[in-house]
């Protein structure tokens, strides 16, 4: 998967440490931005909360992503808005290396951390233990940051210990069951609301020579998403409960989900050799109208919209009956975690740095929402959209405020469980691996990790 490959390169590949200090060109770039709308400028001024030292010149060093339009443009916009709201603050950009956080950890070890830096959960946990990251609770309260967030994205602000260490801008990414509306209509198949509806649809498509569901199951995480989708019909926290050791795979909600996956596979859900199929192969089946459904993250919307236009949609996952379907409609597989702009506990101007970090996070999200066409942001945006959402993205933007999320496989914290659930979920797709075996193997891993 193209987009996921980009994500993996940023989070999983450890490259050689490089000296990416900010140069004059970067600083110049960071001071420029597309001209925001008048309403955007007004909103920026109103949302600013300058400290008592607002007129005192302050120079802050920031370590942030700045590698392509998806990271450069929102950063430049946020810095330009900051200049209007807090003209006394000068930002010095140090470009974040794509090295799984190694350069930032080296800064911490050397005592040279920048004032503000982008932090994911791994950095947060590591720097908490070494006292290198500022706890932001008082600034979250002072700036009213929680009021600016969607209830569904609060998990990106508050960690498991109940505290905040970074101001988030990215929301929860989710796995979606995409479908081709034209194929459904041509085969007289309605959007399934019950599991029985879905099973009947699979059999109908199979009989018509149409692949019911295309999956790049050579990668294991989509298999986990499929399994988790069925779990969330009765257990909103899905695989998160297993990851925390608060449930067992042999519990009714989890065992039933495995049984349903096995039954659908045996009914012909997947193309032959699905567990050897890569992203390009699976995506082509769906985009060329040879598969009725496709599983991927919401990042698939842009590319599949180009291929299918208004024929693209996504399904809410069927449940035992229509009442259960409505009750669990907004339980989504996927999710996110605490991340965003953090502040060094050693920063000279902690209060100003915290205010700036919060401001930049909010404006970064604002740009992504209004001008990059993505609703996957942590904070609410009231400005008009400049880049119109395609219909499927519009549907997702309307669902986000009501959404409850679980986790993607790569966001699980229990390493033994993560390996077990990935292997077991992929094995379910072969049709030769029973739900009992699934429950036994996953429960064993959960028990061993205690």
- Which tens digit of pLDDT belongs to each residue from 92-140? 999 999 888 999 999 999 999 999 999 998 899 999 999 999 999 999 9
Q: What is the pLDDT of residues 207-258, one digit of tens each?
A: 999 999 999 999 999 999 999 999 999 999 999 999 999 999 999 999 999 9
- The pLDDT assigned to 1 comes to 43
Domain count, the chain: 2
Residue 398 domain-assigned (yes or no): no
235 and 366 in a single domain? The answer is no
- Where does residue 144 fall: left (phi above 0), alpha (psi -120 to 50 degrees), or beta otherwise? left
- The pLDDT assigned to 54 comes to 54
Contacts of residues 125-131 at CB distance under 8 Å and 24 or more positions apart, as own/partner, are 126/101, 127/165, 127/342, 128/165, 131/345
Q: Phi/psi at 67 (nearest 5 deg)?
A: -125, -25
- The pLDDT assigned to 44 comes to 38
CB distance 361 to 136 below 8 Å:
no
Residue 3 domain-assigned (yes or no): no
Within 10 angstroms of residue 141's Cβ, the number of other Cβ atoms is 11
**316: domain range?**
173-334+407-448
Provide the β-strand partners of residue 93: 62
342 and 307 in a single domain? The answer is no
**Distance (Å, whole) CA 58 – CA 173:** 35
29 and 72 in a single domain? The answer is yes
315 and 377 in a single domain? The answer is no
Helices (H), 31-176: 38-47, 69-85, 102-110, 121-129, 137-142
Residue 8 domain-assigned (yes or no): no
Residue 58 domain-assigned (yes or no): yes
200 and 254 in a single domain? The answer is yes
Residue 6 domain-assigned (yes or no): no
Tell me the CB-side half-sphere exposure of residue 147, using CA atoms within 13 A.
6
Tokens of 294: 């496709």
At a CB cut-off of 8 Å and minimum separation 6, what does 190 contact?
A: 184, 197
216 and 360 in a single domain? The answer is no
Residue 1 domain-assigned (yes or no): no
Tokens of 363: 């404006």
**Distance (Å, whole) CA 95 – CA 396:** 32
CATH number, domain of 298, equals 3.40.190.10
374 and 289 in a single domain? The answer is no
328 and 341 in a single domain? The answer is no
- The pLDDT assigned to 417 comes to 95
Q: What is the pLDDT of residues 40-71, one digit of tens each?
A: 333 333 444 444 455 789 999 999 999 989 89
The predicted model scores a pTM of 0.80
24 and 148 in a single domain? The answer is yes
Residue 124 domain-assigned (yes or no): yes
66 and 156 in a single domain? The answer is yes
Please give the angle made by the CA atoms of 318, 321 and 322, to the nearest 5 degrees.
80
Tokens of 319: 């449940």
Residue 40 domain-assigned (yes or no): yes
Compute mean pLDDT per 10 residues along the chain, 450 residues long, and list them: 40 36 35 31 41 74 94 97 97 93 96 97 93 98 97 94 96 97 98 98 98 97 98 97 96 98 98 95 97 96 95 98 98 95 97 98 97 93 91 95 93 91 97 97 93
294 and 200 in a single domain? The answer is yes
371 and 288 in a single domain? The answer is no
């Amino acid at each position: 998967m193209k987009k996921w490959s980009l994500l993996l390169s940023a989070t999983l590949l450890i490259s050689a440490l490089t000296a990416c200090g900010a140069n004059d060109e970067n600083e110049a770039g960071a001071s420029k931005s597309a001209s925001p709308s008048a309403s955007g400028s007004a909103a920026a001024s109103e949302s600013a909360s300058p400290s008592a030292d607002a007129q005192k010149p302050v120079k802050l060093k920031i370590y942030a992503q700045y590698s392509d339009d998806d990271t450069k443009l929102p950063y430049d916009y946020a810095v330009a808005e900051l200049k209007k709201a807090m003209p006394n603050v000068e930002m010095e950009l140090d470009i974040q290396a794509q090295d799984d956080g190694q350069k930032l950890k080296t800064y911490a070890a050397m005592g040279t951390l920048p004032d503000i830096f982008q932090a994911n959960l791994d950095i947060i946990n590591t720097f908490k233990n070494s006292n290198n990251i500022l706890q932001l609770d008082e600034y979250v309260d002072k700036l009213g940051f929680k009021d600016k967030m969607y209830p569904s994205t609060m998990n990106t602000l508050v960690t498991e210990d109940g505290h905040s260490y970074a101001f988030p801008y990215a929301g929860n990414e989710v796995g979606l069951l995409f479908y081709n509306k034209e194929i459904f209509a041509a085969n007289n198949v309605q959007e399934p609301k019950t599991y029985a509806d879905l099973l009947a649809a699979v059999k109908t498509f199979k009989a018509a020579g149409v692949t019911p569901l295309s999956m790049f199951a050579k990668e294991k995480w989509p298999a986990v998403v499929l399994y988790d989708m069925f779990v969330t019909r009765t257990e909103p926290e899905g695989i998160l409960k297993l990851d925390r050791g608060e449930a067992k795979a042999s519990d009714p909600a989890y065992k039933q989900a495995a049984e349903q996956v096995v039954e659908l596979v045996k009914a012909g859900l997947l193309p032959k050799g699905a567990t050897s199929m890569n992203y390009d192969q699976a995506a082509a089946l769906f985009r060329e109208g040879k598969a009725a459904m496709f599983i991927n993250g919401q990042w698939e919307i842009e590319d599949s919209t180009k291929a299918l236009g208004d024929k693209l949609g996504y399904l809410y996952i069927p449940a035992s009956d229509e009442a259960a379907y409505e009750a669990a409609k907004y339980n989504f597989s996927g999710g996110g975690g605490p991340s965003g702009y953090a502040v060094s506990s050693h920063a000279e101007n902690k209060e100003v740095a915290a205010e700036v970090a919060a401001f930049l996070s909010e404006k970064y999200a604002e740009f992504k929402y209004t001008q990059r066409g993505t609703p996957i942001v942590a904070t609410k945006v009231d400005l008009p959209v400049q880049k119109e959402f395609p219909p499927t993205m519009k549907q997702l933007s309307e669902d986000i405020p009501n959404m409850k999320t679980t986790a993607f496989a790569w966001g699980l914290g229990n390493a033994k469980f993560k390996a077990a659930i990935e292997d077991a979920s992929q094995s379910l797709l072969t049709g030769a691996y029973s739900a009992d075996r699934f429950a036994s193997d996953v429960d064993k891993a959960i028990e061993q990790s205690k």
